[in-house]
Structure 1
Amino acid sequence: MAQAQHPYDTILDAFAKMSVPLDLLICGLWLAGALCTIYIPYLNESFLPILFGIPLVLFIPGYALIAALFPAMRDIDGIERLALSFGLSIALVPLTGLILNYTPFGIRLDPIVISLSLLTIVLCLVALYRRARLPPEERFFVPFHELYQGIRDEFFPKAEGSRTDRILSVILLIAIIAAVTTTVYVIVVPKDGEKFTEFFILGENQKAADYPTSLLTHTNSSLFIGVGNHEYRTVNYTVEPYFLTMTFNEKTNTTSLNSMTPLETFTVSVPHNQTVIRPYTLSPTATGFNRVEFLLFKDTVPDDHITGMERINASYRDLHLWVSVHSLT
């Protein structure tokens, strides 16, 4: 009767004596490539994060889990492994996001990447350990060499065939490669949609309510200014706030600008498809103002000699709040 193997010896067999299976090695290398494309400058601005990220989200975590649950070749067949890998990945990733939502880290890029990376690594190590406990002939492996041989024999058979069959095989292979390349291109290089910028103001609780409309001189009033970039490129924005004094003429039903006092200006660089929200403090030094104007400029700012309504009209976006300013005394 064979003596049971000590767990320590099994661990040694898994991580020292046994070479890493090629399928698990590919999972680890793909994960490393995805991390490089996400965090290395220049690479993270290309299509590579999408190319590496889609399999990392939709396939690899589920495949690692299936590999950990079913280490033997006889457990399930290849089609079932492939289908369950996609299905479990679609289940694991939202579950990870749900758990992160109830933690101080929140659903952000870094916590999601770290969580998926740790999950994939742990599952791959468990799969490697469980395969090591099986006899070598029972361990699951992906027959990459057999697959390659089968594809090569299908498209380029060694036996002499008709010239027409060879031409049709080459055309079919080219069509498959073209279809796969086109699909990848459509995914990683999506067509540009409508280009626009979101420009908005939020109250002190970062909600579209409770705006500071009654101001006291030499007293701080808080709000938030948000800029959302959907221009399909990184844009440098400049926000220019002003205190205005406006007069309404009831006879002509028009509003005229009497004075325009500049406030603290700030610039912000916003990558595509991201939103930046910054706090801003209003602190009037005199009474008489009845409107706060926020001008947004994209890339370039007009010369200082352009003032008044001309500057407001020259802005890319503009927002305003009607206010009343009172003195402390």
Structure 2
Amino acid sequence: MAGNRQFSLDLLLVAGLVILTDIFVLVPVLSGSFLRTVLGLLLVLFLPGYSLIGALLPARKDLEGIERALLSLGLSIAVVPLMGLGMNYTDWGIREIPVLTGLSIFTLLMCGMAYYRRRQLPEAEAFEVPIRTTISALKAELLEETGTRADKALTVLLLISILASLGSLAYVIGDPRDGEAFTEFYILGPDRTAENYSTEYAPGDSGTVVVGIVNHERRTVDYTMEVRLENRSLPLPENQKYISLDHNVSWEEPVTITPPVEGKNMKLEFLLFNETEKNVPYRNVHLWINVTKEA
């Protein structure tokens, strides 16, 4: 077993990024900053997979650095939806804070497991990010008289391409175009999950659907919501019919539905209009419901 070795630099960096992401999401003063978006992307697309790879494959010989990075991306894309699917069946649902908490706990636990497993290996065999070795090799590739000119040119071109890609990604995230403004509009079951919708009614019965709106229009928007059953408008209270939201503000409330007519496979529509178009729905979702005496 290796001696009293310090915590691996890469795992320490991953844990630090997780904690920093939590701070930027939870602290209101920081939650609107550009760094929150960058850190959030890392937490969703890379860090869970990297920590999981570290826990599963702690030895240097198990996987090369580039392969680890690519597999970390793929595993993160697999882990995050699975975690979201599992949380959908809990009381928390798929919400920002529960998802952030779940991803943070998972990533930190995997970092701890990776650190423990690396300590069980001889120091020469445990995986570490070879930062100094990589820098030295890069200097040798570019400055020393080794390799052909074509190899050096390809190396420089690769570095420029990577830097240009990172710069473009940072620009797109930090300065989104006006055409990317949008509004989220969705419905959930009464337990605030994407299932168990009220679709079977007896005459006179009422059901509950949770309706959500999230404004990403980068401006305050005055919305109008309408609920229709077979093109017939159903009554809504004023605070659910007219909704004004600032940018990045969400609205989610239970809406009670009392079908006034009987029938099968009737279309229950939830229509959202914005302030500029009052006749054509800006967003819409629907359910198919039955209202029968046998319900």
TM-score class, shorter-chain normalisation, is: 0.5 to 0.7
Q: What is the aligned counterpart of 2:12 among 25, 38, 62?
A: 25
Matching residue of 1:113:
100
How much has 1:65 moved relative to structure 2? 1.0
> For residues 95 and 43 of structure 2, what CA distance do their matches in structure 1 show?
16
How much has 1:63 moved relative to structure 2? 1.0
Shift in alpha-carbon separation, 1:232–1:153, aligned structure 2, 3 A: farther
* 1:272 is the counterpart of 2:236: no
> For residues 157 and 49 of structure 2, what CA distance do their matches in structure 1 show?
34
How much has 1:76 moved relative to structure 2? 2.2
Shift in alpha-carbon separation, 1:81–1:104, aligned structure 2, 3 A: same
One-letter amino acid matched to 1:128: Y
> For residues 183 and 125 of structure 2, what CA distance do their matches in structure 1 show?
58
Matching residue of 1:180:
166
> For residues 166 and 27 of structure 1, what CA distance do their matches in structure 2 show?
32
* 1:134 is the counterpart of 2:110: no
Matching residue of 2:68:
81
CA contact (8 A) 1:201 1:223 kept: no
Matching residue of 2:179:
193
> For residues 79 and 169 of structure 1, what CA distance do their matches in structure 2 show?
15
Where do 1:274-289 residues align within 5 Å? 274-277=250-253
Matching residue of 1:122:
109
Q: How many pairs are equivalent?
A: 246
Give identity over the alignment, percent: 36
Gaps of 5+ in 2: 225-237, 257-272, 281-295
Shift in alpha-carbon separation, 1:179–1:238, aligned structure 2, 3 A: closer
> For residues 141 and 24 of structure 1, what CA distance do their matches in structure 2 show?
9
> For residues 199 and 141 of structure 1, what CA distance do their matches in structure 2 show?
45
How much has 1:107 moved relative to structure 2? 0.9
How much has 1:106 moved relative to structure 2? 0.9
SS in 1 for 2:127: coil
> For residues 154 and 49 of structure 1, what CA distance do their matches in structure 2 show?
36
> For residues 205 and 102 of structure 1, what CA distance do their matches in structure 2 show?
10
Matching residue of 2:52:
65
Shift in alpha-carbon separation, 1:229–1:171, aligned structure 2, 3 A: same
- TM-score if structure 2 supplies the norm length? 0.63
Runs of 4+ in 1 over 6 A off after TM superposition: 165-172, 196-202, 204-210, 221-227, 263-267
For the aligned residue pairs, the C-alpha RMSD in angstroms reads 4.7
Matching residue of 1:35:
22
How much has 1:222 moved relative to structure 2? 10
* 1:52 is the counterpart of 2:28: no
How much has 1:115 moved relative to structure 2? 0.6
How much has 1:38 moved relative to structure 2? 1.1
How much has 1:94 moved relative to structure 2? 1.0
SS in 1 for 2:15: helix
Gaps of 5+ in 1: 215-220, 240-262, 281-295, 299-314, 320-329
Q: Deviations over 1:24-57 (max 9, x none)?
A: 0111111122112212223211222221111211
CA contact (8 A) 2:218 2:248 kept: yes
Matching residue of 1:97:
84
CA contact (8 A) 1:198 1:226 kept: no
Where do 1:246-257 residues align within 5 Å? none
Shift in alpha-carbon separation, 1:297–1:191, aligned structure 2, 3 A: closer
* 1:228 is the counterpart of 2:204: no
Shift in alpha-carbon separation, 1:63–1:47, aligned structure 2, 3 A: same
SS in 1 for 2:31: helix
Q: Deviations over 1:178-200 (max 9, x none)?
A: 33201332245432326576899
> For residues 32 and 235 of structure 1, what CA distance do their matches in structure 2 show?
31
CA contact (8 A) 2:215 2:245 kept: no
> For residues 130 and 150 of structure 1, what CA distance do their matches in structure 2 show?
28
One-letter amino acid matched to 2:66: I
Q: Deviations over 1:120-153 (max 9, x none)?
A: 1111111111111111111111101111222333
> For residues 84 and 171 of structure 1, what CA distance do their matches in structure 2 show?
24
Based on CA coordinates, which of the two structures has the bigger radius of gyration? 1
